[in-house]
Structure 1
């Protein structure tokens, strides 16, 4: 059996790594399964792509399509054109896509038009927010996939409501958590740890990248000022995305507590999460990692496609206003961490379940 794996952006790499390990395990058991790893080039900054292949021991991709940036349409179209050429030259039995980035949707579309089956890892998650490009990518990918591998029972419910046959839905758990467990003993201090005199629990980790939070300079500055003011005696470490840094430009503004640092590799970033006092983010994936690590998380969005991080985990949905963030953060300081646990099947074995299902169905 030949599987083509698609990775285009940072979260994809984290999710693909344990799937490759699961394939290699099947190979060691004498199962005839091989893979071809495609890097679409959607993220092309070394700190956002190549570093993850090195740190997570993923073999170098068989090919890099090098599509780089552009508008939503330009990037999606470029991925489709390049991947169609790749798939025609290297046909396979199954194209496996992960997550919800442009590469996910674009490669799924190409595969189906070439009559190749598609497996979607992290299928069925929904935020209900159609202004998010990722939500559209999820819906389109799920409308044409053949295998639906889900992280939660709520994702199963979403798929059933869309008319997905139940026999094609497989609740397997969370491959991102597989990667976390596989690398917890390898996480390492970032090089600025001593520079900012960081210690466990004396800092808050901040990440922002969604257009609604970072695309307008003055509102971004206002948001950062509000976060800076609420920090109290805690430092704030902000690994700033190149795009966000460009929006801020040369703005001559001083923050008392916020320290800007470069984007971090996986091992350094997980160290920062694990040892933080709390995390403020607009990322969905980070709320999964904080849930497993027991770190309070405050998600600056009005909706989430990962409700289990709130109902079961440590996540708080706080909207996009600093006023609401400050209110909920203050309540946390007063009352402490809410009672939390780890969602079902977030046990580090999701990738093995996925490969077992794929191989069994192919035999």
Structure 2
């Protein structure tokens, strides 16, 4: 098999954690009174506990398994927001947030307030404070998926608490790459996926709900069987069953347990430092291209070529160099409008991950230089 140089970790990590095993032999948990079912239920329980510890959550029942970050985001937005509510977001949110809010804006007559920011993606916190007055929900991506900008969660959390506004963090790009063992003290909801920084399988994500949040305020998104209180015609009101209708993706949950083990052995702080070092080396040495270098960013870099469009350049990187990157708008209209790349069809995104190294980064730089000189 040809050697590929993979720099598309913002889409999905590759390779996955080496100790992810084949769990197709597992059976559905809590569906049968036999040992095989009990064994799967124990793995699900242990994975909830591991995730709760990873984010500083006390009640492991508030770890809700979903199909991914988008599913988690939809649970919060569809379940929490009511008619005429006010929602405040940053100016660089992912379409998972932006499209859902635009749908609900028409349906619920929401007022959507967007915090302005400078070209370096720094938010105007004074304006943010004013915008949060009367708002029900503040939403921020933790790490931007296009350029890697990291939000100041501490400052946003403080503003939300002052204004008695709920705070949801889209952590799809940050989970597994940034130490977050006290994050649930700062947010009410955290949404994540398993297949990016957590090095696990797609089709799995999670929603974490703050220990003090009143779950009566959050309606389920999906209704159906839960294998609990099957004599009732209504959804159970207790956690996690209230938000986990249908069968869990227990094969992926078991894989996630093992991938978190792998990440913890390496150390999330070590992963963070390595990704940052590779990004900084790239920024210091890449020549002949347009680089959108945003301060306080990690993992991701957005670039353009001066003499070739992004689709042709990406195709050339793939065919001639076996380099995997993603070009386009990256499901983030707001970000590309800020960068000034929306009218160009987006940019090429380079996303470093735990398995990248310096030699691969040097090879990437060499390939970009050769293409820019064509």
TM-score range, shorter chain: 0.3 to 0.5
TM-score by length of 1: 0.36
Higher relative contact order (CA 8 A, sep 6+): 2
**Structure number with bigger Rg:** 2
TM-score by length of 2: 0.36
